[in-house]
Chains A and B, each alone.
Chain A
C-alpha cells in the first residue's frame, strides 16, 4: 500500500502512522453529552469498503492527511490535507 501525500508525492506506507477513522474532524461540542462523546470516542462505522481515515505523515512532512481508501482491497482512492478537509467541512 502506497499513499500519495499532497505535499511529498507517492510514498511507502511505512512513512505514515495510522490514526484511525477520520472522526476527529467532526468532534462533538464539549457539552454534547455522554452519548455523543461515547459514540465519538468508541463507536465506529467500520465499513467493509470505502472508508476515510486519518494518517500522520510522521516520517515525511509531518502533515495530517485524510485518506479515502477501500478496506477490502487496500486501494487508496483520494488523499487530502486534514486542514483542507476541515476547512471544506467534509
Chain B
C-alpha cells in the first residue's frame, strides 16, 4: 500500500476503513541468512538496507518487547550533522543526507523538519571553538553559519542575553539540522523491511548465541532456537548482556539519560537550541510540547528513569537560558539507557567471532544516526567490509589507542562522557 495525498483524501471521505497494518507481525522461522537482535531504530534500518541495498531478504529482526519500544521511542528527536572529528564527521554527514531523502525513499511521513539547530556560545574561547567546529563542518561539506547577537535576537528573541553569569555571545546555526517524529522512523523502516520480506518478530527475547568452531550458527530465544548464517547485535543499552552470551566483554557502560516534555503550547521555539554553558537542548514538538533534555545522571543505570538532582539541574539550565520556560508545566519525564563507550563514539564492527557483528556505543546520540548506522551496518553484514563513512568505528581502537574519537576532548575513559 502506498501513501499519497489522494489516498489520504479518499480514506478521509470513506471513514478511514481502508488502512491496513503497516507490517507483518511474523512468527519465527527455523533459519535465516541474517538474524538481527534488536528491533529498534538501528536494527530496523539495518534490516531495511540489507534488503534494499544488498537484496538480502531472508532476514529476521528479533525484538524482546515491541518494535521501537526502546531508545528510538524515548529520545529528544534531534537530527544534525555538526561533528568535529574525522570519523564522526563523514558518518553523520552521510546519515543527514539519508534523512533528507528518507520520506520519499520509505514512502512514509517521518515528519522530518529541517528547522535549524543553534549551538550557543558564551565566551570568547567558546566562540573560537565554535568557529573551528563550524569550519570542520563546512570542510565536510555540511552547513554551518556563525551568528552574532543581533542576528540571534531576531530568531531567538526569548533568550536571556544579558545575564551576568552566562551572557550569550553568539551561536553556530546549522540550517539542515532539525527534528523528526521518532516513532515514525521506526515504523517507516519496519514497514519498508517487512514489505521486502523481512520477518519482524516481537516478544522474542534472545537467551543465547550459538557458536561452533569460532563461527556463529544461530540464536536461542524465548520462542525457540533459530539458525542463522550471520547475527547482528544491535541492542544499545543491553549490548553488554547480549555480547556476554557470545563470551564477549565490551567497552560499554550503560547510563540513564533523562528527557522532559511540557504541556502543549502555541508555537514559540522554532528551532533546536543548545545551551553552551550547561547541558541543555530544547525544541518544540508538533503537538506543542517543549521537548528538552540535559546530561546523563552520571552513574551506571538500567532503570530507564533518573534521579531528582539531575531534574533540578536541567530545569536550572533551562531557566538560565530562557526564563520564560518557568511558566510552562512539565507534563512528564522519562529516561533511556545509553550505551556509553570510553571515547563517546560508536562501534560498527566485526566481533572477532565469525558471522557475528556489533553495532553499539551510540552514547546519547543514536537517533540522528539511525539511517547512517543501518546503511553502514547492512554493508558490513552483507559484504564483510567496513562501509566508508563508518570505517573508523572500530572496536579495537580502545586496545590500540589508534583512531579514538573523543569529541569532548576529555579523555578516553568511562565516566568522562
Residue from B253, B307, B413 in contact with A46 in the complex, judged by beta carbons closer than 8 Å:
B253
CB under 8 Å from chain A, chain B span 259-317: 298-303, 307, 309
Cβ of B302: which chain A residues have Cβ within 8 Å of it? 48, 71-72
CB-defined contacts of A53 to chain B, threshold 8 Å: 299-300
Q: Interface size bucket, B side?
A: 20 to 34
Which residues of the partner chain B approach A18 to less than 8 Å between Cβ atoms?
298-300, 415
Contact of B300 with A51 in the complex, beta carbons under 8 Å: yes
> In angstroms, how far is the closest chain B Cβ from the Cβ of A52?
10
- Report 16 cross-chain contacts, Cβ distance below 8 Å, ordered by A residue: A1-B307, A20-B253, A20-B414, A21-B300, A21-B414, A35-B399, A38-B398, A38-B399, A42-B398, A44-B240, A44-B414, A48-B238, A48-B302, A71-B301, A71-B303, A72-B303
CA distance A38 to B299 in the complex (A): 21
Contacts of A21 in B (CB 8 A): 253, 300, 414
A73 to B414, CA, bound (A): 21
Interface of A is mostly: mixed
Q: Give every chain B residue within 8 A of A39 (Cβ-Cβ).
A: 249
Q: Hey, which chain B residues are within 8 Å of A72, CB to CB?
A: 302-303
A68 CB, nearest partner CB in chain B, Å: 12
Asked if A31 lies at the interface with its beta carbon under 8 angstroms from chain B, I say no
Those 5 A-B pairs whose CB atoms lie nearest each other, nearest first: A46-B240, A42-B251, A43-B249, A38-B399, A18-B299
A86 at the interface (CB under 8 A from B): no
B342 at the interface (CB under 8 A from A): yes
A45 to B413, CA, bound (A): 15
User: Given the complex, which residues of B lie within 8 Å of A13, measured CB to CB?
Assistant: 307, 309
Report B49 CB to chain A, min CB distance, Å: 28
A74 interface residue, CB < 8 Å from B?
Answer: yes
With A41-B413, A42-B342, A46-B254 as known contacts, state yes or no: A12 contacts B249, CB within 8 Å: no
CB of A71 within 8 A of CB of B300, answer yes
- What CA separation (Å) do A27 and B342 show in the bound complex? 18
With A21-B300, A45-B240, A72-B303 already in contact, 12 other A-B pairs whose C-beta atoms are closer than 8 Å: A18-B299, A34-B399, A42-B398, A43-B249, A44-B414, A46-B241, A46-B250, A48-B302, A51-B300, A71-B300, A72-B302, A74-B307
What is the distance, in angstroms, from B288's C-beta to the closest C-beta of chain A? 32
Q: CA A19 – CA B414 in complex, angstroms?
A: 8
- Check A11 for interface membership: any CB of B closer than 8 A: no
Query: Is A43's CB under 8 angstroms from B254's CB?
Result: no
| Residue of A with least CB distance to B251 | A42
- Check: B320 CB closer than 8 A to any chain A CB: no
Q: Is A44's CB under 8 angstroms from B250's CB?
A: yes
How many angstroms between the C-alpha atoms of A39 and B253 in the bound complex?
Answer: 13
